[in-house]
Amino acid sequence: MKRIKRFRIPLSEGNTLDVKLEVEGGSVKGFVLNLRCRIDNKWHEVYRMDTAHGYLHEQRYWISDRPIPLTRNMPLQYVFESFMEQVRKNHERYMRYYIEKRSGDYEQADR
């Protein structure tokens, strides 16, 4: 039986990670990690990684809205956990990249 869990993880003031996790038989079958940041009192999607559309991909909204396909050489559970930790550690940097893109300064940002 497939179970879907949805929850939010507050990362810092104005930064939230929305999570959707699909589990079947104790194994991760799919997920969504969606970093939203409040900028100028509006919520913006800044980073997203998911398995929607049948493949693993990420979207770095400071670069483009287009999905970037990813390959995986490990179980989906590990991919989910490692990218969730990556977003937790880097959410402020991702937000900065997004803000710099909006202001036209992204080309000069330290990547």
Half-sphere exposure of 39 (CA within 13 A, CB side): 17
- Eight-state DSSP code of residue 61: T
- pTM, 2 dp: 0.85
CB 35 within 8 A of CB 17: yes
The Cα–Cα gap between 1 and 107 comes to 47
The Cα–Cα gap between 70 and 54 comes to 12
pLDDT in tens, 11-65: 999 999 999 999 999 899 999 999 999 999 999 999 999 998 889 999 999 999 8
Q: Where are the domains of the chain?
A: 2-108
In sequence order, what are the beta bridge partners of 3? 23
Whole-number percent of the chain with pLDDT over 70: 94
